[in-house]
């Protein structure tokens, strides 16, 4: 088997379900990759290793809870999270702690996902870019407002990440970084707790 941080979301979910790997081992591999590559890519707005590892261990002890059971995910920093700060990419919200998770993240976690951390976004998902660089060439941009999510997935830091399509800001960074970006039908996924 190749390095755990290189597994895609489906492969990771299947390996966890089959007992070939644990969620904790996968989360640790992702955190090690982040530690190695974050100084160059700058994809992350907030990480808490202890929270992520505790959630992974809880998934390993529990019965499977859905198709994402034990799979680490990243959340774009315009999505509210109770366990991590949500700054919406803006210094005026630095340290802001919402009381609950955005609906889309609550759904992902009810499907078994482990929230690894928050990814960089443009300020309020609009025009002022974050620090994220392209994982293959730090002199280039990773795209629009979901740049942190796209770069984190493309660089093998996490197998799955959320983004938003404010103005091409989900599919553009995915295309720039060479990964799949999926834009569901408007209204299909609840937006409560997401800055838009």
**Is the separation of the CB atoms in 60 and 22 below 8 Å?**
yes
In the 8-state DSSP scheme, what is residue 46?
E
Longest dimension (CA), the chain: 45
147 neighbors 104 (Cβ within 8 angstroms): no
Burial of 66: CB neighbours in 10 Å, binned 0-12, 13-18, 19+: middle
Residue 66 is given by DSSP the state S
* Contact of 72 with 56, CB cutoff 8 Å: yes
Tell me how far apart the alpha carbons of residues 134 and 173 are, in angstroms, rounded to a whole number: 9
Catalytic residues: 76, 145, 169
Residues 6+ apart with CB under 8 A from 125: 76, 78, 88, 89, 145, 164, 166, 169, 195, 196
């Amino acid at each position: 088997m190749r390095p755990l941080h290189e597994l895609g979301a489906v492969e990771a979910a299947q390996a966890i379900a089959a007992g070939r790997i644990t969620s904790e081992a996968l989360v640790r591999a992702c955190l090690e990759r982040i530690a190695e590559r974050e100084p160059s890519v700058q994809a992350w707005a907030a990480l808490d290793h202890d929270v992520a590892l505790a959630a992974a261990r809880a998934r390993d002890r529990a019965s499977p809870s859905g198709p994402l059971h034990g799979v680490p995910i990243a959340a774009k920093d315009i999505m509210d999270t109770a366990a991590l700060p949500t700054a919406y990419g803006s210094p005026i919200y630095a340290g802001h702690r919402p009381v609950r998770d955005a609906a889309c993240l609550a759904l992902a976690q009810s499907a078994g996902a482990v929230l690894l951390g928050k990814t960089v976004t443009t300020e309020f998902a609009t025009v002022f870019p974050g620090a994220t660089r392209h994982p293959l060439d730090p002199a280039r941009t990773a795209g629009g407002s979901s740049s942190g999510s796209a770069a984190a997935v493309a660089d093998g830091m996490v197998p799955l990440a959320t983004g938003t399509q404010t103005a091409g800001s989900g599919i553009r960074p995915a295309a720039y970084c060479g990964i799949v970006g999926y834009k569901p039908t408007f209204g299909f996924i609840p937006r409560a707790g997401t800055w838009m």
